[in-house]
Amino acid sequence: MMKKPAMMKQPRVTMVGLITLTVGCGGAKPSVRPDDMSAEGHLNEAKKESAEAQREIREANSPALQPNMAVSANANPEGYYYPTDLYNPRSDHLLRAARLTKHAQEHEAAASYLASFEQAECQKFPPATRAACPLLGPVTEIVDVPGGVRTRFAEGTHLDAVVAHMRCHLAYAQSRGFDTGSGCPLYIRGVEIRTTSDPRAIEIVGPNAAVVAEIRNRSREEAVMVRGGAP
């Protein structure tokens, strides 16, 4: 995120999708990001690609591809002979198997990261609480700011508890691939929570115009608004 000129940098509470797993795949596929899909989705992809890798290995080991230096192709005595260090018909299959295996390992690592991230952020929250959207309330004011909204809470709100629940719910949402069936303003890919210099306010922001519009709409729909600090 680019720094805003002439403004104090806001302390960041969390950012979804910040971690990228960059294990190389030999150019076959792009590196895997944890928030590309849910933890379950990553494990399914890992299983599928591991099976494909095993098929490539079986193809490489088939009798038809074993190098035979006694005769040339079609037993043609005038054919050309290629040493295995120059041409090995098994090489392409083995190379694809290695790439698939590496990519499967990336998916497994992404799934592990999502699970551990949720556990770290939600140590104090039971499963039912993790799944529940942290209602924005009691809120006295929601104003648009660059990138999203600033939400100001009523006097006496335990903001640290609110932020902790939001952090947990973000981790929960990320590990499940940001299911679009939820109306929670935190159930959007790319959402970031920021504390502010105001001890009663937080900011919810996003990386692009579409996410920002969704944050603003959902925040106002979900907020429990109060007046003068009382319901």
- C-alpha separations of 8 from 123, 164, 199 in Å: 32, 23, 16
**For the residues 186-204, what does the mean pLDDT come to?**
88
What value does the mean pLDDT take over residues 132-148?
A: 88
Residue 102 sits in the same domain as residue 137? no
Residue 211 lies in a domain: yes
In this prediction, residue 47 has a pLDDT band, given cuts at 50, 70 and 90, of: very high
Q: Within a domain: residue 199?
A: yes
The mean pLDDT of 73-102, rounded to a whole number, is: 71
| Residue 152 shares a structural domain with residue 91 | no
pLDDT of residue 72 exceeding 70, the answer is no
Task: Please indicate, yes or no, whether residues 135 and 217 belong to a single structural domain of this protein.
Answer: yes
* 177 within some domain: yes
Q: What number is the average pLDDT over the span 122-128?
A: 84
Last residue of a domain, one of 88, 120, 152: 120
Q: Specify which residues 168 forms β-bridges with.
A: none
Asked if residue 18 belongs to a domain, the reply is no
Same domain membership, residue 133 and residue 217: yes
Whether 135 has a pLDDT exceeding 80, the answer reads no
Residues 115 and 194 in one domain: no
Quote the percentage of the chain above a pLDDT of 90: 25
Q: 113-119 long-range CB contacts below 8 Å, 24 or more apart? A: 113/19, 113/21, 113/34, 114/34, 114/38, 114/39, 114/42, 114/171, 114/174, 114/175, 115/39, 115/175, 117/19, 117/34, 117/171, 117/174, 117/175, 118/168, 118/171, 118/172, 118/174, 118/175
Q: Are residues 60 and 131 in the same domain?
A: no
25 belongs to a structural domain:
no
Q: Domain total for the chain? A: 2
Confidence (pLDDT) at 25: 41
pLDDT at 145 over 90: yes
Q: Are residues 109 and 140 in the same domain?
A: no
Q: Is residue 227 part of a domain?
A: no
Residue 133, SS3?
coil
Q: What is the mean pLDDT of residues 62-71?
A: 63
Residue 99's pLDDT band, with cuts at 50, 70 and 90, is very high
Q: Which domain holds residue 85?
A: 34-120
Model confidence at 21: pLDDT above 50:
no
Mean pLDDT for the chain overall: 77
